Structure 1
Amino acid sequence: MMSAGILSGLAAVLALVLERVSPLVVRRAPGWGRLLLEGIAPFLYGLLPLLIVLQQGWLSLREVGLIGPVPLAPGAFLGWSVADWARGLGLTALYSGITVLVLRLAGLHRPASSRRSALRAFEALPMGLGREAMLGLWRGVLWAAGVSDPLPVAWMAFGIWWGAARGLRVRGGDPPGPCVWGGVLAATVLFSLTGNLWLSALAHLLVLGLLEHSEASPSPKREADEMPFSED
């Protein structure tokens, strides 16, 4: 029988493949089903594999970053002290803000109307949670493989996701734009500093909520990517 580590790794690979294929499936769905698929796809490729792995006991809550190093300490919440949470929330706001600011100063995203900011954050919720759950699953696999420091765990998981995002370009699939890789990058930095999946997910959602559906600066490459594929 395969070991828990191998089974967890297979679940993580499946999550990566589903994450890359889902935009194509959504695009080709009939109009009545497209909205439904857009809402549930992130949970299928992100949260569901993570929940299965945790329910089966292949990875622990500690390995994926859902609880901290001192879960039974007096005054600790989910394994982190109040001081850890305060520091982590400050870092979350700082690095999320830096990410959004850098992307906008670089001209990769321009501010959209603030009237829809709350709606943008709500729309970004499934995608951000799904992708962060998938990244958390990969971090857990790496942690179980013997990499015990959050810094290499976070950046190796980011590298795996980025390589898959670049290499598994399905026909008609969207390349990861600034709001996508910006959210992943902010979450990676937070996890490398805190080892806390809750905070990395919050950073992910903040960046997506601030950038998703804002007006992206046009570029020749982007316009070429958005051209419809012609049938040969």
Structure 2
Amino acid sequence: MFERCLWCDNQLRPTLTVTWFFSLQPYQAPQLCHRCQPLFEPPKQPQCSQCGRFQTDVLICGDCQAWNEWGFAVLKNQALYPYHGMMQEYLDRYKFKGDYALRLLVKERLERCLPDDGSLIVPIPVATAQRQQRKFNQVEGWLTDVDWLDALVAKPKTTNQHQRSRQQRLQTWQPFSINPAAVTQLQGVSVCLVDDVYTTGQTVHQAQRLLLQNGAAQVCSVTLAR
């Protein structure tokens, strides 16, 4: 019985143990070869206690201090990987080149990070033009076994606001609108946003602001990378 590694495409030969044979469980093909498996192990490194940025300690980073000073609600984000090297290549192949099978490489790990306290799971949406180009929302691809709420709608991209300061842009820029059909379910509940990358934090903070304005009690987030 031969399989291929989802990441490097090299042929691999899984080991079928006696324990598995007598367990009567269905066979699950491995996804990675022994060389690629370590590439997808989350690093054991300190992270910012607020946004999940990988750093040398768990103190709140300068970015989070700025968000707090600008009057945004504190947003607790959990990130699985730092956004460089292998993770950049992964998202390029999965998100931009459309290798949908690669969702399986991080899917279970990301699902384990989601809260189990009854919070509503809300994926960050993509604009209609992007969905038509990619054929799928990369975040929804990781949530195929999770119940989630389609609470946000991505607005079409508008002209840039380079003439304004960063703080002015943050106070006026809102890339999402609320899905009217979801407002009733948002009232007084906890929400967990899910996105692919936390870079500047603008996307998840603006989504958080909109959800709080429409009745959510609190909002946290989980991102694949930071």
Structure whose CA Rg is larger: 2
Structure that is richer in helix per residue: 1
Higher RCO by CA contacts (8 Å cutoff, separation 6 or greater): 1
Structure that is richer in strand per residue: 2
